[in-house]
Each structure stands twice: as C-alpha cells, then as structure tokens.
Amino acid sequence: MRIMSFNLLCSGSGENVMKKRKKAAAKAIINYGPDTLGVQEATPAWMTWLKKSLTDYDFVGVGRENGKNRGEYSAVFYLR
C-alpha cells in the first residue's frame, strides 16, 4: 500500500501562488500513484482542482470553518 502526505500551502503568494503550483502538484500525485493521500492546507480552490485532476480518487473531509465546504481541508483521498 502506498500512502502519501502533501502539504499544499494554501493559496501561497509570489512564486508560490497556487496558480503556478497546481499542475505540478497534481502531476506529482498522479506520478507517485498513492493508494491513499492526505492533504493539508487544501483551500476550497485546491479541493476543486484536486477533484477535477485526480479522477481515479474520491475523498473524505470537510472545510474547517463550517464543517462543510468553507476553510481549509485536511482531506484524505483514496483510490476508488
């Protein structure tokens, strides 16, 4: 079983802004192909991107601000 942890660094700024990192992050996850993936600092924008990009995965987790979809997630993705 392959397990991966990935701190996404929220939205970031400057050279670390999400827009510049999102494709590389999804590519790294796909290339390593973990069975289970834990993410930290996943904003709703990150979650939207990850759900769109990681088509073989589903996830469990909620946003920390309202227990639904607001705030950062510490979600766990898993292969379907």
User: What domains can be seen in the chain, in order of their start residue?
Assistant: 3-79 (3.30.110)
Burial of 50 per CB tally in 10 Å (0-12, 13-18, 19+): buried
- Give 21-49 pLDDT, tens digit per residue: 899 999 999 999 999 999 999 999 999 99
The whole-angstrom separation of Cα 73 and Cα 32 is 21
The whole-model pTM stands at 0.88
- Give 2-28 pLDDT, tens digit per residue: 999 999 988 777 777 888 889 999 999
